[in-house]
Structure 1
Amino acid sequence: MAHLSRLARREEIARNGVNEAPTLPLLAIKEYLCFRCCQHHEKLLRCKGCQKACYCSKECQIDDWRIIHKNVCRVLRDVNDIESSEISSDLDWDHYTDDIRRKILFIKQLPPAKLTQNQEGDVTHVVSAQPYCATCYLTRYQLACQGVPLIPCKTCHFVSHCAKCPSNHTQDQCQYYNLIGQLEMYRLRHFEIYGTVSFIQTVGDPCELDEYRPLSSYDSWPDFFMTVPMRALQADDDDNPEYFAISATEGSTISMTIVAALEAAIPNIVDKQAITLHILGATSRESSYMLLLEDLLHLLPRLKHIHVVLCGPNAFGPISQPPREIGQDLEMYCCPECTGKGRRRSMAFFKGFYHEYARKSTSFKKPDLAVLFNSGRSQDAVESWAPTTRYLVDSGINTVCTTYTEREAMEEVAELENLHAMFVLRPEVNKWRGLVPWPELMEGKEHSAWYQNYYWYIFRGKEA
C-alpha cells in the first residue's frame, strides 16, 4: 500500500531524527509524481483549492491533507490571488524570478501561526519550482485563469510551454533536466529501500607513503575514481553504479574539499600526524557525513589523529549538551586497518557562534583549518556572521569557504577585502564540488544549475 511506503511517511521519519528524509520532489511539483507517495501516475488528481498539488489517488490526497496540506493549501491560495492580479504579456526570466522572490517574501512574512518551519519550506519550494511556460513566463495557474493549457516536455518533465507558445528549450537543456529527474528518481528509490537520503562512498584503503598523491594531481572526480579504489555503503546489485557515484559526491565533497584545502594551505601537510578541524555553521548535514572524514586518514599516510569540532547555533550534538558549552570529546569509529595502525578520529560540539567559542571556551585551540560549507553568510544572518568573520581574519586561521554560486563567493570576498584578508586561493570553481546538478530557480541564468560546494576560496590572516 502506498500509505505504508517510506516516501509517504517521510515527515514522520524526519521527525524521529534517526535519518534524514527527502523533501517534496521537484518532479512532484512539476506534476509528474504524486505529492504524497512520490509515485508516477498518468492521470493525477489536482487539489481543487490551491490547484498546485497533485495526487495519484484520493487516499494519498486525504493523507497529505492530514499530514501537511491543510495549512499549506490556504497559503498557496493566497499566492494564487497574487498571481492572478499580476498577469502580464511582457515577461522574461528576470521579471519572472523577481515575481517569485516577491511571493517568497510574502510567505516568509506570514505570522508564525500560519505555517510551521517545515510547512514554510514546502510552500516556498512549491512556489519557486512551480510549472510555468518557458516562453511567455506565465505560471500554470495564471494560464489556467485564461483557459490556456500548459504542456510539459514528455522527455524531461521539467520544462513546459503553453498552448499559445512554441517549445523553446534545447536538446542539451532537455538532457540536463532529464539527468536531474533521473537522479531524483534514483534518490527516492534509495530512500524507499534504505531509509536514508545519504549515499556513502569512502576511499577504500589507507595509502602508504610511497603511494601518496596530492589531490591537485588529479584532473577531476572521474580521474580520481579510476585511480583510487572506493568502497560503497548501502548499494546493491540493482544500483546504477554511475548514479551512485554521482550521488555519493554530495557527501564526499566534504572530505575531498577539506583535504584539497589542507594541501593548498599547509605545504608540509603530508608530514603532519595530527590535524584539528573546526567546521563552522555546522548542521545535521555535516554531522551525517562525519564517517567520510576517515578519508583523511586514508589519503594522508602519516596522519594518526583527526579532531573535529562542529560549531554553530544548529550544530547537531548531544541533546543534553547545554548551549555555548563545548561538549566532551567523542571517539569515532575507524576501519579495522586504521585502528590496527593506532589511528583515531574524535569530535566535539559547540552549540553557539564560533567567535563565542573562540573567546569564551578555555578548551579552544587554534585549528589547522576552519571550514565554512555553503554558509550563505553574505545573504542570511549577516549580522550574526560578521564577528566570526572578523575573528577568523584577525586570528590568522587557515579558512576555506565554499558557496553554491559565484555571486555568493564574490559577495563574501568583498567583505573579506574590506577587512584586508590575505587570500591563499581566490574564488574559483571547486574541482571537488558535488556532481549532482540542482536547477537554479531564482538566481542566475535560466536553465542553469548550482552544486554542493560549487565555488571555493581560502584565506589566512591579513595582508602584510
Structure 2
Amino acid sequence: MESESSAMKPWTGLRFVNNIPALAVKGAVCFSCHQQAPTLSRCSKCKRVWYCSQKCQKQDWTARHKQLCPKLVAANTLNVHRSHEPRTWAEYRRETETGQDYSPRFPTDTPRTTYVPLSTAESWYDYYTKISDKSMVAGLLSPDLKPLADNANMSSALIAATDELCLFLTIIAALEATHLATKPNITLHLVGANAVELGSLMLFEELLHLLPTLQNLHVVFVGPELPRSVSGEDESTPLDCCPECTGLKRTRSLAMTTCAYHDYAAREGYQAPDLAVAFQTGHALEEIASWAPTIRYLAREARHPTVFTTFNEHEMLSELAGLKTLGARFIVEGERNRWRGMRPMLDPLEELESSAYYQHQYWYIVAGLDTSPSP
C-alpha cells in the first residue's frame, strides 16, 4: 500500500453509500473500522480504498475488497482526467453553481476587503446582492427570490442554497449580536455536532469571506454522534483555504471530540470558545435526560455566549421555558431567524395538518456568565 497523509483531506459528512460512510469513500477515515488516524494508507492496486493499519486492510480484503478491487481498477481506466486530477476552486464553484454537485452552494466567491454588517441586510436578496457577490441577480428576482420573467431555475437554486448557507449566516449574525464579528481570531464550538455540520465544513470559509478582520478561524465539533479519532481527540487539523485567503495568510482549523459538551467542558485544559453553536438540538423535546447536563452547563456555568436554533416556534418556546427555570440570561430571547432557510418542508409532527417548517427557523442566544472585571 502507498502511504499518504490524510491530514489535509476535507471532511464531507457522514452520509452513507452502500453502508460505507462517505468519509471513508473520500479517504478521511479508515474504510474498515471507520476511524480517524494521523496517516491513512491506500490500496496500491485500486488506489480508491484507505486503511489505518495492515490489520484493517487484511480484514477488509477478506470481507469485501477482494471482490471489489478488480472492479475499481477497471473503473480507473474510465474518465481518467476526472478520476485522478483534483478540482480547482474555480471548477468547484462552477460545478456547484450549475447544479452538478450534490446540492447547490452559492458562497461568496471573493473575500470582502471592507466589512458590511449582516445586520444591514433585510433579507436573503440583500445578502446575495449587497453583501455577497451575486449582484447579477438584481432585477432578475423579486426581493423574496421569486423569479421574474424566465428565471425560475435561478430562483430555485438560490432558495435551495439558503438551506446550507443559513448555518453560516446565523453564526455571523450571532457574532454581530455578541460584538465578536471584528475579532481577528475566533474559536467556535459546535455543541451536539453531527453529520449535517460536518457535511458543510468547506462552507465555513464564508466567515472568512464576509468578516475581513478575521485572520484565524478554529472550529471544534463536539458531539456523541461524531466518529472517534484513533490519533487522539482535540488534535487540531489545518484545513485548506481558497487562494485569496491563503495569500493573506488566513487560516482555518478543525478539532473534533466524541462526547457530550458538558463532559468536554469538564476536561483538563478546556478552553472556552468565543461562541458556542447548538443547531436544532431539540433538547426540550427529544433525549431530554441526555441533554440536561449540557443545557444546565450552558445556562449556569459557561463563560461564553451560545446561539441555539429550532425548527419551529413551539420547539423554541419549550426550550426557552426550560432555560429560564435554570436562570439563564439572554442576548436574544427568542425570535424568528432572519437567516432561516427559505425552502419549506412538511412537518409531520406539528398539530396542523400540512404545516411546514424551515431550517433554523427560530433562534435565541444565551448570554453565558459575565467574565468582565468588577468596576
* TM-score bin (small chain): 0.5 to 0.7
In the alignment, which residue of structure 2 is the partner of 1:15?
Answer: 19
User: CA offset at residue 14 of structure 1?
Assistant: 5.4
User: CA offset at residue 461 of structure 1?
Assistant: 2.5
Specify the code of the residue in structure 1 equivalent to 2:127: F
Match of residue 311, structure 1, among 217, 222, 245: 222
In the alignment, which residue of structure 2 is the partner of 1:251?
Answer: 164
Q: Distance in 2 between matches of 1:400 and 1:358?
A: 17
Q: Which moved more, 1:255-264 or 1:241-250?
A: 241-250
Instruction: List aligned pairs for 1:14-33, cutoff 5 A.
Output: 15-18=19-22
Q: Distance in 1 between matches of 2:363 and 2:285?
A: 17
Confirm or deny that 1:281 pairs with 2:192.
Answer: yes
In the alignment, which residue of structure 2 is the partner of 1:301?
Answer: 212
In the alignment, which residue of structure 2 is the partner of 1:450?
Answer: 357
Q: Distance in 2 between matches of 1:425 and 1:327?
A: 30
Q: Measured at CA, do residues 407 and 12 of structure 1 come closer, stay the same or move farther in structure 2, by a change above 3 Å? A: closer
Specify the code of the residue in structure 1 equivalent to 2:181: I
Specify the code of the residue in structure 1 equivalent to 2:184: Q
Match of residue 377, structure 1, among 283, 287, 297: 283
Q: Distance in 1 between matches of 2:107 and 2:302?
A: 33
Q: Measured at CA, do residues 326 and 278 of structure 1 come closer, stay the same or move farther in structure 2, by a change above 3 Å? A: same
Q: Distance in 1 between matches of 2:222 and 2:271?
A: 13
Specify the code of the residue in structure 1 equivalent to 2:164: G
Contact 1:256 1:432 in 2 (8 A): yes
1:461 match: secondary structure: coil
Q: Distance in 1 between matches of 2:129 and 2:206?
A: 17
Q: Measured at CA, do residues 219 and 317 of structure 1 come closer, stay the same or move farther in structure 2, by a change above 3 Å? A: farther
Contact 2:186 2:274 in 1 (8 A): yes
Contact 1:421 1:462 in 2 (8 A): no
User: CA offset at residue 204 of structure 1?
Assistant: 1.5
1:256 match: secondary structure: helix
User: CA offset at residue 447 of structure 1?
Assistant: 2.8
Match of residue 269, structure 1, among 158, 176, 181: 181
Q: Distance in 1 between matches of 2:178 and 2:217?
A: 17
Q: Distance in 2 between matches of 1:379 and 1:343?
A: 40
Specify the code of the residue in structure 2 equivalent to 1:432: W
Count of aligned pairs between the two proteins: 267
Contact 1:422 1:463 in 2 (8 A): no
In the alignment, which residue of structure 1 is the partner of 2:106?
Answer: 201
Listed as ranges, the gaps of 5+ residues in structure 1 are 1-10, 21-189, 232-237
Q: Distance in 1 between matches of 2:363 and 2:302?
A: 20
Q: Any runs of at least 4 consecutive aligned residues in structure 1 with deviations exceeding 4 A, and if so which?
A: none
Specify the code of the residue in structure 2 equivalent to 1:391: Y
Contact 2:272 2:303 in 1 (8 A): no
Match of residue 387, structure 1, among 275, 278, 293: 293
- TM norm structure 2: 0.66
Contact 2:172 2:181 in 1 (8 A): no
- TM norm structure 1: 0.54
Listed as ranges, the gaps of 5+ residues in structure 2 are 1-14, 25-95, 136-150
Give the structure with the larger helix fraction: 1
User: CA offset at residue 326 of structure 1?
Assistant: 2.4
CA RMSD of aligned residues (A): 2.6
Identity %: 38
Contact 2:303 2:370 in 1 (8 A): no
